[in-house]
Amino acid sequence: MMQPRTTSGAGRAVTRRTIGYRMKMLAPAGVAGELFINRELSLLAFNRRVLAQAEDESMPLLERLKFLCIVSSNLDEFFEVRVASLKESIRANPDLIGPDGLTLRQQFALVCREVHDIVAKQYRVLQHVLMPALAEQDIHFIRRIHWNDEQKAWVREFFFRELAPILTPIGLDPSHPFPRVLNKSLNFVVELDGRDAFGRESRIAIVQAPRILPRVILMPREISGASFGFVFLSSILHAHVDELFNGMSVNGCYQFRVTRDTDLSVDEEEMKDLRVALQGELVHRQFGNAVRLEVADNTPAHIIEFLLEQFELAPEDLYRVDGPVNLVRLMNVPDKVDRPDLKFPPFIPSEPKEFKLVPDIFSAIRHGDILLHHPFQSFSPVIELLQAAASDPHVVAIKMTVYRTGTDSALMEALIAAARAGKEVTAVVELMARFDEEANINWAAKLEEVGAHVVYGVVGYKTHAKMLMIVRRESDRLRRYVHLGTGNYHPRTTKLYTDFGLFSCNESICADVNDVFLQLTGLGHASELKRLWQSPFTMFDRLALAINNEINIAKAGRPASIIAKMNSLLEPKVIDLLYKASQAGVKIHLIIRGVCALRPGVPGLSENINVRSVIGRFLEHTRVWYFHNDKQEDLYLASADWMARNLFGRIEVAFPILDNKVKRRVIREGLRPYLVDNVRAWEMEPDGSYRRKTARAGKERSAQQTLLAELST
């Protein structure tokens, strides 16, 4: 399932296997390629919907700036992962045809055209919409050509105090070849005339902006003359770059940024310790193959040609931009502007009332399953459960999966405290959580130091399931408590992502969770789970069974329906089943935030399928699967999307909601508001485009706003 690749290193070809899962989608037999939307184009369509939030005047102004930055962040990862993978696949088999009917070369050409259009629009929104609107609020980005004498003096002092001491200009000559440019770093290519102190005549120098410094600096109010006046770091360096080349003439200074392939790979045949092998690879992430070059729009053609040659890129990999080459670094501007009226209003997540009626959290869970709906409800009960377990003398063991948890985590500190207290602590740490590898390696080391059992799951299968199990001695028995979630154990993202978490001590669910942990830490055949669906073993088969059941019910003339909410829908075999369900008369509502390869509303194929995407204040992250099942209403929450990697290449769990009260809550909060949203919802057309829903005045219904009003305080 994992594709081998050849990389060069130390003068020899080395066959390596990519640990990051890059599975090629294959269409089911008999399904025509034109029935599928291209994955990359669908992902770019999602970014168009995000970009639309930056244009939306109903959004607070500083939040619109953040959405603009989110698009840049998304595109960075798109190039680091998706475009890098596409380029690699083209090198191996350029004429390979995907389930969408496109060759890899055709995909790449369409992707380039679409991204260039998105980026051009993004900078138009910045320069002609957001910056003028910010200026009206006395928030200014002061251009170098507009600096007065007092501002120039302040900039000069800042340059010599904060910037010059840490700059390292590299003059290019035979002893100074083109430097290794870090992934996504801000750099400047400087054109020079003259000879230096050693008689060297260099025409080109490279200067890298220090990563430690912000890309936008807030000027003192008395200097800027504005309530909030910002100056770009690039402008400061441009103004004083000649100070770095004493006696030389600077003919031009142009900013550029290169994006690289950030995939990590190890030699599985030689690997004995995944953590050690991965640590060795992390240092190379910043220097993978270049996949994109961004330059300022004033960069002359001969400089662009020089840079493209250095990075072995083609003209289609070039992006000329009208403004800063890294808009992601504008994300911290709203934090520096004290204007609450230009931001989303604050809210306080509520605490479930179940915890207020009993003396401790364990008693609350024994009374019945408890649902948490983030970010509308607080994540703190999860932290409190683990902290209580760490200090409770009756708790004997704790097991937890760690996918993303951050560099500063109260949960990890609680696990460490539990291990120090002598409890049996087992942490299944996923070292290959993309971009969180270093943090997870560090936590793994800290846990091992205090005697915790640390395992890294199964090589080749990311452990993406979100599970916490606590074993507690009560009277004459051991009782298990579990927390299962659709999102990560990351306190920061729980404030930004919508997710569900379930506390339970249901015996059958706890037994299944225990069996999954045994698979992850030990050896042996997979046991048959009673309640949970698990990838890569049973999840697809159970999902197919549930869809086929709705098909049979519809064919029998009874009402049949499926409602599914998730991040992405890509697996062709699932899409094929959904098409068959639509043709049988099953009513299907799909709430897909991001990528969707299914074509809805095609007569004779998918006229009974509706696809919508909700883009708002919070990132929609919940995975909820509903099957009507002759009014039994089977309901599952999951860590997985309907993608090949989730169903066949990762360790995931989907868990049923058995308590009827909790089930009603999930339907009421996780599905219904999204099906009627006419403020932040977009409906997908058969060709893969999206049409934004519009509401009549006084009839607006926003899912996220409704949930904020009902659940938060």
Q: DSSP string covering 123-158, please?
A: HHHIIIIIHHHHHHTTEEE--GGG--HHHHHHHHHH
**Residue 302 in marked binding region:** no
Across 251-266, average pLDDT: 85
pLDDT-wise least confident of 5-14, 99-108, 226-235: 5-14
38-77 per-position pLDDT tens digit: 999 999 999 999 999 999 999 999 999 999 999 999 999 9
- Residue for token pair 């709430």: 591
Cα(539)–Cα(647) distance, rounded to whole angstroms?
Answer: 6
Q: Does the pLDDT of residue 24 top 60, yes or no?
A: no
pLDDT at 618: 96
Residue of 464, 490, 589, 628 marked catalytic: 464
Residue 424 CB neighbour total at 10 angstroms: 15
**Nearest Cα to 227, choosing from 135, 113, 343, 293?**
135
**Residue 319 in marked binding region:** no
592-623 per-position pLDDT tens digit: 999 999 999 999 999 999 999 999 999 999 99
Across 535-558, average pLDDT: 97
pLDDT at 198: 58
Cα(541)–Cα(545) distance, rounded to whole angstroms?
Answer: 6
Across 307-316, average pLDDT: 96
pLDDT at 196: 65
210-253 per-position pLDDT tens digit: 888 899 999 999 999 999 999 999 999 999 999 999 888 899 99
Q: Does the pLDDT of residue 200 top 80, yes or no?
A: no
Residue % of the chain over a pLDDT of 90: 74
**Nearest Cα to 516, choosing from 464, 472, 554, 479?**
464
Equal fold, 353-526 vs 534-711: yes
Q: Provide long-range contacts, Cβ within 8 A and 24+ apart, for 104-110.
A: 107/38, 107/40, 107/41, 108/83, 109/316, 110/38, 110/40, 110/41
**Residue 434 in marked binding region:** yes
Q: Does the pLDDT of residue 302 top 90, yes or no?
A: yes
Confidence of residue 33 (pLDDT cuts 50, 70, 90): low
122-173 per-position pLDDT tens digit: 999 999 999 999 999 999 999 999 999 999 999 999 999 999 999 989 888 7
**Residue 492 in marked binding region:** no
**Residue 238 in marked binding region:** no
Domain boundaries, the chain: 138-342, 353-526, 534-711
Pairing relationship of beta strands 216-219 and 228-232 according to DSSP bridges: antiparallel
Cα(76)–Cα(73) distance, rounded to whole angstroms?
Answer: 5
pLDDT at 10: 31
**Residue 593 in marked binding region:** yes
Is 86:111 a contact under the CB 8 Å cutoff? yes
Cα(378)–Cα(355) distance, rounded to whole angstroms?
Answer: 12
Confidence of residue 22 (pLDDT cuts 50, 70, 90): very low
Confidence of residue 26 (pLDDT cuts 50, 70, 90): very low
Residue 76 CB neighbour total at 10 angstroms: 19
Would residue 240 show up in a list of annotated catalytic residues for this protein?
A: no
Superfamily of domain 353-526: Endonuclease Chain A (3.30.870.10)
- Residue for token pair 């931001």: 343
Is 379:410 a contact under the CB 8 Å cutoff? no
- The DSSP line for 348-371 is --B--GGGGSSSSHHHHHHTS-EE
Please determine, looking at this structure, whether the domain spanning 138-342 carries the CATH number 3.40.50.300. Answer: no
| CATH assignment, 534-711 | 3.30.870.10
Q: How confident is the prediction for the chain on average, in pLDDT?
A: 89
Question: Burial of 129 by CB count in 10 Å (0-12 exposed, 13-18 middle, 19+ buried)?
Answer: middle
Global pTM exceeds 0.85: yes
492-510 per-position pLDDT tens digit: 899 999 999 999 999 999 9
pLDDT at 400: 93
pLDDT at 407: 78
Q: Does the pLDDT of residue 18 top 50, yes or no?
A: no
